Amino acid sequence: MLGSYANASDAQLPRKRKRPTISCSECHRRKQKCDRQQPCFHCTRRGKTEICLYEHTAEEYMSYESITTELGTVENASISQIPSDTRPGSEAVIDQLMSRQLGYSSSCSTGTFKIVSQLGEPDRNPATFANSRRNNDAAAQYLGLIREIPHRKYVNILVHSFFTNVAWHYDVIEEAIFRDELSDWDQVSYTALKQGPEYLPVNTRYFPALLLQVLALALLYQPVQYDDILDDLKYAPDIDFSDLASDYSTAGHRIMCMLGSRDMPLSKIQAGLMKACFEKSIGSVIESWHTLGSTIRDAQELGLHQLSPYDANKIASDASKPREVKLRRKLWLVLHLWDAHMAAVLGRPMATRLDPRVVRSTSPPTASPPQDQQEVILSPFDIILCGYHAAFKYLQDIHDLEVTSKIAQETVQKIHNAVVSNISRLPAWASSPSPTLDCKYPWLPAARETLITEVYFVLLALHRPFMSSISTSRVEALKAALQMLESQNRLFSQAGSHMHMSFTLVFATFDAMVLVAATYLGFPNDNLELLPASMKCMQWGLARLDAMRSRNTMAGLAYDVVQALYQKVLSCISLPDPPALYMDGSRNLNRLAQASSGDYPGQEILHITGAMANNKQDLDNPLRQEQLFDLVYQDLLGKSQALKQTDTTVLRQEQCGEPAHDSFWQLMDDLT
């Protein structure tokens, strides 16, 4: 009986693991797939590089793998060759260091290797060997990534292009500071780089991540007539600048992941924001949203969200660096605006909240231009501040709005009246062209149209949930959409071909056109006085998307979808027989230029034929719906101009039904 009990006890003992653990100790403990790097990806991302240790070395694992492959089964494999003592600093590890890294032969009986073996384990901190290996691996990985940075002559061209064509959109990277950091980076010696990134100053070690994102955006927004010397960067016959841009952006992101979030500078926040912008520009909207979320968490780690009410005197007299304090506020505001706009479109929760009191205002708003406009000093960020105080600050309230709430109508009316009032009080340079200032600041015309679209997008987002049940909301949403489309047309005529990659030229146009189509498909007998302008705006929008589709795949997708909706609108409403507008050739671009200089012609209604008739798309196609979902739910900041808002009493509940939720798929189901 005792024997049987003993056998039963033995049977309950856990079986000893017969194969070695190949993951690092942390990945093994957390049951994660380890990439066997030193440090591995997961430990790097979690900032735990110092505890990324392995039970067996890579060489032992490779030897073990070859044995198991030869014998066919793990059970038959002999692991007697694997040293039992593989602790850092043990004799086995010392032997490996000497034979495999220093090159000493283990078979020589009288050489240095034999002497060290006979002396036994040196009196040395055991962690030193592991730390040395980790440093060497990190240095090699870092060197491999920064080799993606091109020669300085190409960098100079691309940096200039970035600050000319791209930087004004968000104005969170100051050119003077960036060039100083670039100069400092050029002074870093190869010897210093070989020691590893941890031996570099914090700002310096993160700078390549920001530089690579800047180069990526500069390449993405290259005009058709670019500097031919940039062709030298192409390493394959069929490669284009967007491919190179993806390479640079990926390398920059890998540097950020490698360095982790410990002791990070503001340049990592800048790099993360530029990465999100790049991903959104190429249509990777979900990836952009996730990148934004990670960047927001990094910013919170640095305390960017802990802002006190704005006090210019306090900031100017701050004992720390005043420029850094201002940059922190700018970064957090832009991150909040990205978060608010993407939440409004994607229907996802917001990760940030912002008290308007912490955001500085621009100069006192006035409807009349200053006496001497030459005295006006502007920066692109002034445009963002104008938009924030006029409309953007209400986005978080709109996102929190419960459509079925009884007080929702009152809230919408208050926000609508406030936005319309703020639009009327915008500074003259922000609301109408100024030859003097437009010449002084080449970025101002495009920034002004961007502001207008963004402001009217707020009104569109405010009224869109109530379109199906409240007639006044339907009218106001339609007017806001038309304002966005007219402003987009002016912006398109001002922007060069390099801006065809811009997501704002696609998503703002697409969002507004879908709303216009939904209005007339759902309520064909309403708003007939706006029908001619609506048809013209849709036709010009289709022309713009068609012109951009050769460089922007998202524009092509948007064109196909809106063209199908436009055909449905034509089939359900009565129109006089209009002249034709063909979608190809220079004709349509000339008409676009004419339309950008003023209002659209009288009551003329242009009917798009030809290419449109040959391009009908099936909206019931699941793949098309998935692509459409990715496209629609990525509207950030749009662009538009002022249409007179005649009725500031917005809401009147009708008896035809409950307010509808702001769901794109519900809308598309209704339309199709």
Q: Tell me which DSSP letter residue 514 carries.
A: H
Sign (positive or negative) of CA dihedral 625, 627, 628, 630: positive
Burial of 210 (0-12, 13-18, 19+ CB in 10 A): buried
Task: State phi, psi for 237 to the nearest 5 degrees.
Answer: -60, -35
Which helix (DSSP H) or strand (DSSP E) does residue 345 occupy? helix 322-346
Which amino acid, one-letter code, is at 609? Answer: T
In angstroms, rounded to a whole number, what is the distance separating the alpha carbons of residues 92 and 498? 59
Average pLDDT over residues 85-99: 52
Range 328-331, long-range pairs (CB < 8 A, 24+ positions): 328/266, 328/302, 328/304, 329/358, 329/359, 329/360, 330/171, 330/172, 330/381, 331/172, 331/266, 331/269, 331/270, 331/273, 331/299, 331/304
Mapping DSSP onto H, E and C, the string for 273-328 reads HHHHHHHHHCCCHHHHHHHHHHHHHHHHHCCCCCCCCCCHHHHHCCCCCHHHHHHH
Instruction: Of 412, 476, 498, 408, give the one whose Cα is nearest residue 645.
Output: 476
Write down the pTM of the prediction. 0.70
pLDDT at 664: 41
pLDDT at 525: 87
Residue extents of the structural domains in the chain:
18-129, 142-301, 431-671
In angstroms, rounded to a whole number, what is the distance separating the alpha carbons of residues 495 and 575? 33
Q: What average pLDDT does the chain have?
A: 75
In angstroms, rounded to a whole number, what is the distance separating the alpha carbons of residues 569 and 616? 14
Token output for 256: 């950020």
pLDDT at 137: 80
Average pLDDT over residues 357-380: 68
pLDDT at 463: 93
In angstroms, rounded to a whole number, what is the distance separating the alpha carbons of residues 416 and 462? 8
pLDDT at 149: 95
H-assigned helices in 98-220: 112-119, 127-146, 152-165, 175-186, 190-195, 202-220
SS3 643: coil
Q: How confident is the model at residue 575 (pLDDT cuts 50, 70, 90)?
A: low
In angstroms, rounded to a whole number, what is the distance separating the alpha carbons of residues 490 and 596? 4
User: Does residue 88 have a cis peptide bond before it, meaning omega lies within 30 degrees of 0?
Assistant: no
- Residue of higher predicted confidence among 550 and 114: 550
CB contact at 8 A, 566 and 512: no
Q: How confident is the model at residue 371 (pLDDT cuts 50, 70, 90)?
A: low
Token output for 481: 């959409």
In angstroms, rounded to a whole number, what is the distance separating the alpha carbons of residues 639 and 457? 8
In angstroms, rounded to a whole number, what is the distance separating the alpha carbons of residues 555 and 359? 35
CB contact at 8 A, 51 and 131: no
DSSP codes of every residue in 590-623: HHHHHHHTSSPPSS---EE-GGGTT----TT-HH
Q: Please state, as a whole number, how many other Cβ atoms lie within 10 Å of the Cβ of residue 116.
A: 17
Q: Name the β-bridge partners of 581.
A: 608
Task: State phi, psi for 54 to the nearest 5 degrees.
Answer: -120, 140
Average pLDDT over residues 297-305: 93
In the chain, count of helices (H) and strands (E)? 29, 2
pLDDT in tens, 531-555: 999 999 999 999 999 988 888 878 8
pLDDT in tens, 460-496: 999 998 888 888 999 999 999 999 999 999 989 887 7
Token output for 322: 């005043």
Answer whether residue 651 shows pLDDT above 50. no
pLDDT at 81: 41
Residue 38 C-alpha from the chain's centroid: 29
